[in-house]
Structure 1
Amino acid sequence: MKNPVQWLRSAVFLVQMYLAMLVLGLLFAPWAAVSAKGARIACKTYARWVLWTARWMVGIKTEVRGQVPSDEVIIAAKHQSFLDILIIFNAVPSARFIMKRELMWTPVIGVYAKRLGCVPVNRGKRGAAIAKMVKDVANESREPGQLIIYSQGTRVAPGARKPYKIGTAVLYQGLSQPCVPAATNVGVFWPRTGIYRKPGLAVVEFLEVMQPGISREDFMAQLEQRVESRSDALMREAGFEPGETAQQA
């Protein structure tokens, strides 16, 4: 039985989080409309607000480990919930995301995603989507930054297993950029669905850089092994055994 007080705190936290998105989105809209810098500052402000309120409202502390990438790289990250998006975006200087096309048409998020140069992908047409993704990213490469892709294509609950998609390798080879794997345990505290938030230390860890030149098969095998093994270790550190059935709120 979850703590009813913590459940109430979680509900209040979520309400204010979405209200803050709306308020900051509208407040920064004039600047963001004419400046990508304005859009980035708005999103950084929002990320920091949520991370700060999560700490004192629901007891979720956050930590970034490893060498934070600042050059033009691909970040291939484990995705467990909205929290890992916020932590990574706040940590790196110039993030943009590979994201499903539907999100580009949502209020606030879609508008700012376009201004940040995020790359939409139509997941219903996988082959064409991958080819277009590489082309779109290459067209934007004149603006250095960190391109974040979630290699499993969706949020994956702690303890669940989902295959890694080839799109990350296609980007890695097509752009000839270093790839920084990123592991996390955030789903232990902030689940991909539901309201309840569990107190604890949520971590995103940037792992050793994978330089260009690795074959597609070796790259995918190494990426999955590194990210999954380190994410499992972080989840165990948080008191969750990855072999258990994930508990959702």
Structure 2
Amino acid sequence: MQQIRSFVFVVQMYAMMAVMGIVFLPLALVSRRGARLACRTYCRWVRWTAAWMVGLRTEVRGEPPSAEVLIAAKHQSFLDIILIFGAVPAGRFIMKRELMWAPVIGQYALRIGCIPVERGKRGQAIAKMLADVKRGALEPGQLIIYPQGTRIAPGVSAPYKVGAALLYEQTGQVCVPAATNVGVFWPRKGIARKPGLAVVEFLEPIPQGLSKEAFVARLEAEVETASNILMKEAGFHAPDRNA
């Protein structure tokens, strides 16, 4: 029965994405604010329908940043994108370039100011983005990066890449780490959705002044530790890396 509910939930979720994309299109074309309104409305819809259709409740913990900051987040599934974007006033993601061509998602992502990054050319993309920031081409807001570069399943280890450290160093912004356990309930692949409480937690900001190496070490330690605690709370126990 849960599998059937999951299937119906996923179908309506993507159907509503198309519907809202069309309904909000005039507003999105007129202003970036209108595009953000569309995306936040969709985030609320997904959270509401997940709760009553598959029993998946959601919660945002900590203090979502409202100032111009860098957010470096754990990425486990589409749900953490929903929770993070819905919690901040002007979020924009560093995203894979191929998502530009995805129906609705790609067009709205570009409209709200997301920055497409070509695989294998991440350094070039970050350099261009920094140049755009200096020229004032990008509006102030919360720049969201996934420092591991892709979705990582619970219990899987993957290195933290240097992109977040370069942004931290060169933008001069504080970094707000974000942990999550959403992958326990909403996997990176497939349609299965499990009941429970999915959480994204904003952690204490990392101030400026650290070296790239020290920043990456601190970011990884804090995000992984907090994510493991959240996953344990959800009933998942990450394997001991030192075992």
Same fold per superposition (TM over 0.5): yes
Residues in 1 aligned to 2:216 and 2:46: alpha-carbon distance in whole angstroms: 33
Q: Identify the range of structure 1 (74-83 vs 128-137) with the bigger mean alpha-carbon deviation.
A: 128-137
Match of 2:225 in 1: 229
Match of 1:24 in 2: 20
Residues 79-158 of structure 1: pairs in structure 2 closer than 5 A: 79-140=75-136, 143-158=139-154
1:183-205 deviation line (CA, Å, top 9, x unaligned): 00000000000111000000000
- CA offset at residue 110 of structure 1? 1.2
- CA offset at residue 138 of structure 1? 4.2
Amino acid at match of 1:6: Q
Q: Identify the range of structure 1 (209-218 vs 130-139) with the bigger mean alpha-carbon deviation.
A: 130-139
Residues in 1 aligned to 2:146 and 2:113: alpha-carbon distance in whole angstroms: 16
Residues 97, 147 of structure 1: 8 Å contact kept: yes
1:142 and 1:114, CA in 2 relative to 1: closer, same or farther beyond 3 A?
A: closer
- CA offset at residue 67 of structure 1? 1.2
Residues in 2 aligned to 1:197 and 1:138: alpha-carbon distance in whole angstroms: 42
Residues 138, 175 of structure 1: 8 Å contact kept: no
- CA offset at residue 38 of structure 1? 0.8
Question: Which residue among 116, 140, 158 is the counterpart of 1:162?
Answer: 158
Question: Which residue among 216, 219, 242 is the counterpart of 2:215?
Answer: 219
Match of 1:66 in 2: 62
Amino acid at match of 1:26: I
Gaps of 5+ in 2: none
What is the TM-score of this pair, normalised by structure 1?
0.93
| Aligned structure 1 segments of 4 or more residues deviating by more than 3 angstroms | 136-142
Gaps of 5+ in 1: 245-249
- CA offset at residue 143 of structure 1? 1.9
Residues 123, 163 of structure 2: 8 Å contact kept: no
